[in-house]
């Protein structure tokens, strides 16, 4: 692949780009860096792939189901060669980062392959493709520079990715093999990036493990980072996602409790509650420690909302261990939970473990867990009926407005649906909503003037 010869070649003049992003919000931020590179060079971006000559599919490869979804999205985009304007298809993200060699043989639909840190290689690769050099493998050809982003979320909600990779060694997970060891981004760069995002009602901090920020350099620096971000005048609120339990320190708990800008909400991926399964998973926490942490958080941070994720059907998980997890849900009473059936991933230690659980058993256990948590979530939401909540306006349609309370993270938790009879609201406003009804995961109400 030859070096770029300029901001746009003759073969790329007046081209329109579109992007389809799959997977997690960390991947979303990577995609926004690709969009930023496109915007910096003066090209138009559309949300409709059918209107674009160049389509980027930003893939996920975390689980087999995610890989299948990514491949289907690639095939769907490729069909636009016949029905739309498509000239070049770029496959980016985790799938080519991990499986570039296989994709070169099995995915001729891709004109360009791009890894997770290759935003700077996008245009040289496209130029090479337009010169007729065949499928261009640009995985690992980028500088790794964290280029300027073009935010793809609503203007009032933005993500800040504070680190990449992971140095946890969970036995079911491919992330370290895809993204490498944990690397914290320099604090001064993160603060400047957050400042450059402009007026932001909700800044969401993400990483594979947010609570390990700075430890790759020998010292945990999450609390100093939170203090620096809280001092920014353009940031109204900060939300923390993906906080591993063993790294939630007393210092962090105090900072969350004392700083008004930090939302009283934590996403703590636990994955299971039984010690034997936790050991097999390679998790560091044990049930007694988890219970103590949940109690401490609720005692020290009034009204904190706690969310988590669990894996069901891990190799050798017994029916009693599944029942223990159901009981744990009743005891812990999380505001919300996500559940996943164990996915047997090659190249992970769990893949070789004995006692693989039958798919039908995993499906049944998953259904039981969701049913148990649905009842808990509904009961917890019922307490808000008749009360007034501050709600962040996310959008509206013909039926009314949709927004979120502080205990609801975007896309993974529920919403507040409400009417505003007296005035038109703007996205990003925070308004008082009198709650009139509660569903399983959502609330309904009316704006109080």
Query: What pLDDT score was predicted for residue 9?
Result: 52
Query: What pLDDT score was predicted for residue 177?
Result: 87
Q: Could you give the CA distance from residue 122 to residue 252 in angstroms, rounded to a whole number?
A: 39
Query: What pLDDT score was predicted for residue 251?
Result: 96
Query: What pLDDT score was predicted for residue 11?
Result: 65
Query: What pLDDT score was predicted for residue 12?
Result: 79
DSSP-H helix ranges across 41-120: 64-78, 80-83, 94-106
Both tokens assigned to 337:
């939970």
Q: Are 339 and 366 in contact (CB under 8 A)?
A: yes
Q: Are 92 and 126 in contact (CB under 8 A)?
A: no
Query: What pLDDT score was predicted for residue 4?
Result: 41
For the stretch 34-61, what's the b/e string if a residue is b when 16 or more beta carbons lie within 10 angstroms of its beta carbon?
bbbbbeeeebebeeebeebbbbbbbbbb
Query: What pLDDT score was predicted for residue 24?
Result: 85
Domains for the chain: give ranges and CATH numbers. 10-137 (3.40.50.12160), 157-382 (3.80.30.20), 388-447 (2.40.50.140)
- Look-up of token digits 């927004």: 403
Q: How far is CA 234 from CA 60, 86, 192, 198, 396, in A?
A: 32, 39, 11, 6, 24
By three-state DSSP, how is residue 345 classified?
coil
Q: Could you give the CA distance from residue 369 to residue 337 in angstroms, rounded to a whole number?
A: 9
Question: Residue 99: CA atoms inside 13 Å, Cβ hemisphere, count?
Answer: 19
Q: Do you know the residue count of the chain?
A: 449
Write out the chain's pLDDT in tens, 449 residues. 444 434 445 567 789 999 999 988 888 998 998 999 899 888 999 999 999 999 999 999 888 888 999 999 999 999 999 887 999 999 999 999 888 888 888 889 999 999 988 899 999 999 999 988 889 999 988 887 887 888 888 899 999 999 999 988 899 998 888 888 999 999 999 999 999 999 999 999 999 999 999 999 999 999 999 999 999 999 999 999 999 999 999 999 999 999 999 999 999 999 999 999 999 999 999 999 999 999 999 999 999 999 999 999 999 999 999 999 999 999 999 999 999 999 999 889 999 999 999 999 999 999 999 999 999 999 999 999 999 999 999 998 878 999 999 999 998 999 999 999 888 999 999 999 999 999 999 999 999 97
């Amino acid at each position: 692949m030859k070096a770029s010869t300029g901001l746009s070649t003759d073969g790329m003049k007046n081209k329109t780009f579109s992007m389809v992003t799959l997977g997690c919000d960390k991947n979303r931020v990577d995609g926004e860096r690709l969009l930023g590179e496109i915007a910096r060079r003066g090209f138009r971006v559309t949300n409709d792939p059918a209107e674009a000559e160049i389509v980027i599919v930003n893939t996920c490869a975390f689980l087999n189901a995610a890989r299948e979804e990514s491949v289907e999205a690639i095939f769907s985009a490729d069909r636009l060669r016949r029905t739309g304007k498509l000239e070049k298809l770029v496959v980016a993200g985790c799938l080519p980062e991990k499986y570039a060699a296989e994709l070169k043989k099995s995915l001729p639909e891709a004109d360009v392959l791009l890894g997770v840190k290759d935003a700077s290689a996008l245009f040289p690769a496209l130029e090479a493709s337009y010169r007729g050099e065949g499928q261009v493998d640009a995985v690992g050809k980028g500088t790794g520079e964290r280029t300027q982003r073009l935010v793809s979320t609503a203007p009032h909600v933005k993500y800040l990715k504070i680190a990449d990779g992971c140095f946890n060694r969970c036995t079911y997970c491919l992330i370290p093999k895809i993204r490498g060891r944990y690397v914290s981004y320099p604090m001064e760069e993160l603060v400047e990036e957050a400042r450059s995002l402009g007026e932001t009602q909700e800044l969401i901090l993400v990483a594979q493990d947010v609570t390990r920020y700075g430890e790759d350099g020998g010292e945990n620096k999450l609390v100093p980072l939170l203090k620096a971000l809280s001092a920014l005048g353009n940031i109204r609120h900060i939300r923390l996602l993906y906080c591993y339990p063993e790294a939630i320190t007393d210092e962090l708990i105090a900072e969350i409790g004392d700083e008004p800008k930090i939302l009283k909400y934590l996403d703590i991926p636990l994955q299971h509650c039984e010690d034997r399964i936790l050991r097999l998973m390679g998790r560091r926490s044990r049930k007694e420690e988890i219970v103590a942490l949940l109690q401490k958080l609720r005692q020290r941070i009034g009204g904190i909302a706690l969310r988590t994720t669990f894996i069901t059907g891990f190799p050798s998980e017994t029916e009693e261990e599944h029942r223990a997890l159901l009981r744990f849900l009743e005891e812990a009473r999380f505001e919300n939970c996500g559940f996943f059936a164990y996915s047997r991933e090659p190249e992970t230690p769990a893949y070789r473990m004995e006692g693989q659980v039958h798919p039908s058993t995993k499906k049944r256990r998953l259904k039981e867990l969701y049913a148990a948590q649905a009842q808990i979530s509904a009961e917890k939401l019922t307490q808000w009926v008749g009360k007034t909540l501050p709600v962040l306006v996310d959008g509206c349609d013909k039926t009314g407005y949709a927004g979120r309370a502080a205990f609801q993270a975007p896309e993974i938790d529920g919403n507040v649906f409400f009417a505003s009879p007296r005035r038109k609201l703007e996205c990003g406003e925070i308004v008082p909503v009198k709650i009139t009804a509660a569903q399983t995961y959502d609330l309904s109400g009316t704006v109080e003037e």
